[in-house]
Structure 1
Amino acid sequence: MKEEVENNEIELDTSGTECPIPVLKARKLSQSLTKGNIVKVIATDPLAEEDFKHYCEQSGYEYLDCNKEKEKLYIRYKISR
C-alpha cells in the first residue's frame, strides 16, 4: 500500500511480510520516484532494518533512519539519484 505523506515522503506499508518482500516492494516503488523523494517503509520483519541498509548501499540511495514503535519499524530512505 502506497500513500503520499508530507514533505515529499511516500509511505509504503509492508506490515505482515518477511524478507525479501519489503525490499522488493520498495524497489518497485522506488523505480517510479524521482530524486529527492523520501520513502517511509513500515515493516514488521525484525531484519528489515539491516535489509534496507544493504538495499540503500547497493542502490545508491541515502539511508536516513529507523525508528521502532511496538512491533513496527519505520524506515526512511531518500532517492538520491
Structure 2
Amino acid sequence: MTDALAHDTELDAAGLNCPLPLLKAKMALNKMSSGQVLKVIATDAGSQRDFRTFARLAGHELLHEEDNAGTYRYWLRKA
C-alpha cells in the first residue's frame, strides 16, 4: 500500500454511493490551493471511472489510484 504518498488533505468517502464521493472531492478541491494533493478513500466501485473522467475533464492530475479489496484510494493534484 502507498498510504505514505504525500497529500495535503484527506477525504474519507467510504460507505458513500455514487455520485457523493466525487461531489465531496470536488468541494474539498475547491477549498485547496493549486498544486495541493487530495487523497480520497472510497468504497463505491463506480468511483474508479468517475475519478478518472473527472480528473481528465477538470484538468486535475490523478497521481495514483489503488484498489485494495474494494477500498479505493485516489490521489488528485489540484490544477
Q: Is the 8 A contact 2:12 2:41 kept in 1?
A: yes
Q: Give 1:65's aligned amino acid.
A: H
Following superposition, the deviation at residue 6 of structure 1 comes to 7.6
Give the superposed CA RMSD: 1.7
Q: Is the 8 A contact 2:7 2:75 kept in 1?
A: no
Distance 1:30 1:69, change over 3 A: same
What is the TM-score normalised by the length of structure 2? 0.86
1:70-81 equivalences in 2 (<5 Å): 70-80=69-79
Following superposition, the deviation at residue 71 of structure 1 comes to 2.2
Counterpart position of 1:63: 62
Aligned length: 76
Following superposition, the deviation at residue 22 of structure 1 comes to 0.5
CA distance in 1, matches of 2:71, 2:5: 20
Runs of 4+ off more than 6 Å = none
What is the TM-score normalised by the length of structure 1? 0.84
- Percent of aligned pairs sharing the same letter: 29
Q: For 1:12, what is the secondary structure of its paired residue?
A: strand
